Amino acid sequence: MEVVNIGAVSFPAAVDAAIREGLAAGDGFAGILRRTAADIREQVSVAVKSYARLLLPPAPYYSVVMDGCLERGRDLSAGLRYNNFGIHGAASSNAADALAAVEQLVFKESPVAPAELIAALDADFEGHAALRQRLLVEAPKAGNDPEADQLLATLFGYFAEACEAIRTTAGAGVSVRAPVRRCTTSGWRAGRLGMRLRP
């Protein structure tokens, strides 16, 4: 059974919550990464629960060409030996950029205080144009900087671990859509998440 693109995990939502909560709690960068991993696991868990009782219409003609259906006398809608419900990680490069910005500008170089960044995020960068510009221009970006690329790989590692930890029953699937509605630490303003290589 295969249901492609049934849902998504929002990497920016996981990173945003981890950064805000982690900085407020005084976490180091490793703590923010732990919070990110936990949020991704939670999103995957919610997704799996929401599709645990996915009802698919019978497909007798398709079932006869699938391994195991005839032998067990079961339609593929009742579950096959292997089921694939496509869930993907959304806006991964934006999330990696946000993590890279915090790692570089808050923890490595330290020109940005955690409280200053939280205040800017809470204000959607209103009154913090210089900080926003610094995040957009100076912070590493996925596809251009090895630091951000490594964080991108880390995010997908967390996602893979969360998905591999799930054992579904026949017919179970996953789905969640959690779009970013807030500004991000990579400098994106609320509701304006998109793709680009450099500002």
The confidence score (pLDDT) of residue 170 equals 44
Interval 112-126: pLDDT, tens: 999 999 999 999 999
Are the CB atoms for 162 and 48 separated by under 8 Å?
A: no
pLDDT band with cut points at 50, 70 and 90 for residue 129: very high
Task: Kindly state the tokens that stand for 56.
Answer: 């698919």
Instruction: Give the separation between CA 59 and CA 69, rounded to whole angstroms.
Output: 11
Taking residues 189-193, what's their average pLDDT? 51
Measure the CA dihedral 38/40/45/48, to 10°: -170
Which range of 36-50, 56-70, 155-169 scores highest in mean pLDDT? It is: 36-50
How distant, in Å, are the alpha carbons of 57, 100, 191, 198 from that of 126?
Answer: 50, 22, 14, 22
Interval 160-184: pLDDT, tens: 888 878 765 544 433 333 334 455 6
Instruction: Give the separation between CA 34 and CA 22, rounded to whole angstroms.
Output: 9
Q: Going by C-beta distance under 8 Å and a sequence separation of 6 or more, which residues neighbour residue 57?
A: 77
Residue 14 has pLDDT above 90, yes or no: yes
- Which string of DSSP letters, residue by residue, matches 100-161? HHHIIIIIIS--S-HHHHHHHHHTTTTT-HHHHHHHHHHS--TTT-HHHHHHHHHHHHHHHH
Taking residues 13-35, what's their average pLDDT? 97
- CA 62 to chain CA centroid, Å, is 33
The confidence score (pLDDT) of residue 81 equals 65
* pTM for the whole structure: 0.77
